Structure 1
Amino acid sequence: MNLTISGHHLDVSPALREYVLTKLDRITRHFDQVVDINVLLSVEKLKEKERRQKAEVTLHVKGKDIFVEHSHEDLYAAIDQLMDKLDRQVMRHKDKLQDHHHLAPKRMDATL
């Protein structure tokens, strides 16, 4: 698994990097077929009093790319909510891969 954590208009501190890694453990625990993860943390300066922190993740799994982004005033809160969204999408993708409960057309003829 390749992991890239980068910052746009901010320096990624070791504490911030460790926080992202601990949150990504939940994703890799649920789905182990992750090929590549790109995390981009950025600061958008809309107005002086209104600074938005944005976190986005591009997750490349076998057969699909999953992209999630979230903005918040606090970067740690943005990362938390981003990982919740990402976890839901990864679980949905995993369920689609494992959903083999339908009968194949060639098997339907044999049962009739």
Structure 2
Amino acid sequence: MQMTISGHHVELTHALRDYAQAKLARVERHFDHITSIDVILSVDKLVQKAEAVIRTSGAKLFAIAQSDDLYAAIDKLSDKLDRQIVRHKEKHQAH
């Protein structure tokens, strides 16, 4: 799995990058056929946003989360992606 983390109007520190990688590595344990994950962390005035695109065999999943804190936004994003990937896995197994 290839993971790309980039920042938009924010300085990506090692702590932020490691935290995002650790949280999004949880997603891979649910579904093994993930090709890549692209994560964009951004700051718009007082709103911190985290968005991600997961590419799997046969699907492209997208999620966005906003919060006052970038770490909280990453937590919300990983929860949303967990739910989406589990739903995709169930659909995939049903076929």
Counterpart amino acid of residue 57 in structure 2: K
State which structure, 1 or 2, has the greater radius of gyration over its C-alpha atoms: 1
1:72 aligns with 2:73: no
Seq. identity, %: 53
The match for 1:58 among 14, 28, 53 is: 53
| 1:77-110, Cα deviation, whole Å (9 max, x unpaired) | 010011000000000000001115xxxxxxxxxx
Aligned equivalents of 1:33 and 1:68: distance in 2? 18
Q: How does 1:27-42 map to 2 (within 5 A)?
A: 27-42=27-42
Q: For structure 1, list consecutive stretches of 5 or more residues without a partner in the other structure.
A: 46-50, 101-112
Superposition deviation, residue 30 in structure 1: 0.8
Superposition deviation, residue 18 in structure 1: 0.5
- 1:104 corresponds to: none
Aligned equivalents of 1:55 and 1:24: distance in 2? 12
- 1:5 corresponds to: 5
- 1:106 corresponds to: none
Q: For structure 2, list consecutive stretches of 5 or more residues without a partner in the other structure.
A: none
| 1:42-68, Cα deviation, whole Å (9 max, x unpaired) | 0001xxxxx000000000000010000
Higher strand share: 2
- Alignment: residue pair count: 95
Could you say what secondary structure the match of 1:37 adopts? Answer: strand
The match for 1:82 among 60, 77, 83 is: 77
Q: TM-score, normalised by structure 1?
A: 0.82
Counterpart amino acid of residue 81 in structure 2: L
Which 4+ stretches in 1 moved above 3 angstroms?
none
